Structure 1
Amino acid sequence: MAMENSAVLPVAHAEWIKIKSLRSSLISLLVIFAATLAITVLASATIGRAEADNPDAEPLFDAFYAFNFGQIAAISFGTTAMSSEYTSGALRISLAAVPRRGLFYGSKMLVIGSLALLVGLVTGFATFLTSQAFLGDHAIGLGHPGAVRACVGGGVYLALMALLAAGLTAVLRSGVAVLGILIPFTLIVSFVVGDVAGGAAGYLPDKAGRQVLHETTTGSLGPWAGLAVCAAWTGGVLLAGWWAVRHRDA
């Protein structure tokens, strides 16, 4: 066990070097923060106070409106970080350096998840605080019920979406296919299914995960229960990716 743990660090460091040197992955990681914050500023500055005056407004959830776009960047990061292994025989080189496929896959997902979580947490708090800066008397603070939980949970949600995309990329071996599935799903299909399936749609990974951004429960799942459902989806996809890496030819 000690030898296995000691092997994780150098492999994880190598995976970090890969991501850092791969421009598309690094840019998509930074875009999680940059795009979410930019859209937050734009939305808050233009319609923030008008929406806050709406009697049906939910101040906490509305603060994280830009997460609809931040999750796309998180999906792109997870996809590009994993899909780089399936171009120009890179996976064969990686497995030659790390023959233990489980160690290779686990270390890669550890780095992807850790980076997405770090950026996600920074994004969560920055998004909330920035949105409130434009609301004047309507602003709420971190002491508002559920605010800290939403900031932290939102960061975890972005990390889970990045890992979901990375695991699905390992299964399909195509970044284009994964982006073609997940981006329309989160932007369009999930809402259409919600109109058709009613409460069952609340158990889809994106809808369940975003429950953590609400101040009060809006469906059958509470904030942490919804995030747990999203984590279960991600865990299942990661296991499928692990199986694919272990049993398919490089």
Structure 2
Amino acid sequence: MSAPTATLRSEWAKLTTVRSTGWTLFAAFAVTVAFGTLVSALSNANYDDLSEQDKLAFDAAGTSFTGGLLGQLALIAFGVMVIGGEYSTGAIRNSLAAVPRRGLLYAGKVTVAAGAALVVSIATSFVTFFAGQAVLGSHSTTIGAHNVLRATLGAGLYMTLMAVFSMGVATMLRSSMLSMGILMPFFFLVTQILASVPGAKKVAHYLPDQAGEAMARVVPRSDVPYGPGGGLVIMLLWVAAAVLGGYLVLRNRDA
């Protein structure tokens, strides 16, 4: 068995034997679907109260994906635990002893975790979409409508990329508690506040979660200077920077 294959099998075994990672992925699914369905139901009930301009800008698919605001937090926790858990317990030393090639170990962790997150995230985005449209009634759309499939896949891809981004950050910080303490409030509160402050809004547009929102929309927001493709590029740049930073820290610092 080649070293890359053995590393992947080892990382898969670690991932599937730690209950917290499985429960975190389930939480991402459940919270996203539940919140997205609730927002869709409320949007349907209040649709007649919208202005004509808001009705024209109404995004049925994007409404379903609003649950991603909470679901991304579970994916952040998942990404942090995959890496940070080994640093917290000291198991990273055993992992490095078994796989001395640090780049190979890191690549194996990122690949396995990203694969698991992708499967769950794509399934979540499709279930969320269909659940949301079921309660939107006459204001709903279909998966075959223009750009709806792209937005559904974009929602799932964004959640996956957020998990990988969190893995890179956790590798740089080498601590689950510190990583969670920074990432959770930042994406749940700080970016939302920045996006609502006129002076900071232009900067906030280029933060990961704002780019992810663009990826999951069918009707582009008029105040965002890029579309879904631009959002994907911005998100990939953030992820690449985090993963590269994590690799450099892992390569150059003792465990």
Aligned partner of 1:152 in structure 2 is 153
Match of 1:93 in 2: 94
CA distance in 2, matches of 1:70, 1:100: 34
Change (3 A) 1:112 1:52: farther
Structure-1 residue corresponding to 2:205: 202
2:144 is aligned with what amino acid? G
- Correspondence for 2:184: 183
Question: What residue is the counterpart of 2:44 in the other structure?
Answer: 49
- Distance (whole Å) between structure 1 residues aligned to residue 252 and residue 213 of structure 2: 34
CA-to-partner distance for each residue in 1:150-183, whole Å, 9 max, x for gaps? 1111111001110111110001011111111111
Identity of aligned residues (%): 38
What is the number of residues matched between the two proteins? 245
**Runs of 4+ deviating beyond 3 Å:** 41-45
Shift of 1:12: 1.1
Q: Distance between the aligned counterparts of 2:180 and 2:90, measured in 1? A: 21
Q: How far has the Cα of 1:100 moved from its partner?
A: 0.5
Cα distance in 2 for partners of 1:205, 1:13 equals 31
- Secondary structure of 1:220's counterpart equals coil
Residue type of the alignment partner of 2:238: W
Structure 1 counterpart of 2:142, which letter?
Answer: G
Secondary structure at the residue paired with 1:135? Answer: helix
**Would the aligned equivalents of 1:120 and 1:159 in 2 still touch at CA under 8 Å?**
yes
d(CA) in 2 for partners of 1:64 and 1:156? 12
Distance in structure 2 (CA, Å) of the matches to 1:140 and 1:52: 15
- Shift of residue 248, structure 1, vs aligned partner: 0.8
Contact 2:25 2:75 in 1 (8 A): yes
TM-score by length of 1: 0.93
d(CA) in 1 for partners of 2:38 and 2:213?
A: 21
Match of 1:214 in 2: 217
Q: Post-superposition shift, 1:44? A: 3.4
| Distance in 2 (alpha carbons) for counterparts of 1:29 and 1:198 | 31
Once residues 63 and 189 of structure 1 are traced to their aligned partners in structure 2, the CA distance between those partners, rounded to angstroms, is 23
Deviation digits for residues 16-69 of structure 1 (CA, Å, limit 9, x no counterpart): 111111111111112111211122333334x14124433413222111111101
Q: What residue identity is the alignment partner of 2:37?
A: V
Q: Which amino acid aligns with 2:44?
A: R
Query: Which SS does the other structure have where 1:216 is aligned?
Result: coil
- Structure 2: any 5+ residue segments left out of the alignment? none
- How much has 1:148 moved relative to structure 2? 0.5
CA contact (8 A) 1:117 1:159 kept: yes
Letter in 1 for 2:216: L
Mapping 1:61-210, distance limit 5 Å: 61-194=62-195, 195=197, 196-210=199-213
Residues 210, 227 of structure 1: 8 Å contact kept? no
1:204-224, Cα deviation, whole Å (9 max, x unpaired): 111012101111332111102
Distance of aligned partners of 1:51 and 1:8 in 2 relative to their CA distance in 1, 3 Å threshold:
farther
Q: Deviations over 1:206-244 (max 9, x none)?
A: 101210111133211110211110111011010000011
Task: Give, as a single letter, the amino acid of the residue that structure 2 aligns with 1:216.
Answer: V
Partner secondary structure for residue 66 of structure 2: coil
TM norm structure 2:
0.91
1:126 deviates by: 0.7
1:13 Cα deviation after fit:
1.5
Q: Distance in 1 between matches of 2:34 and 2:212?
A: 22
- Equivalent of residue 7 in structure 1, options 3, 6, 13: 3
The CA RMSD over aligned residues, in Å, is 1.5
SS in 1 for 2:205: helix
What one-letter code is carried by the residue in structure 2 that aligns with 1:223? P
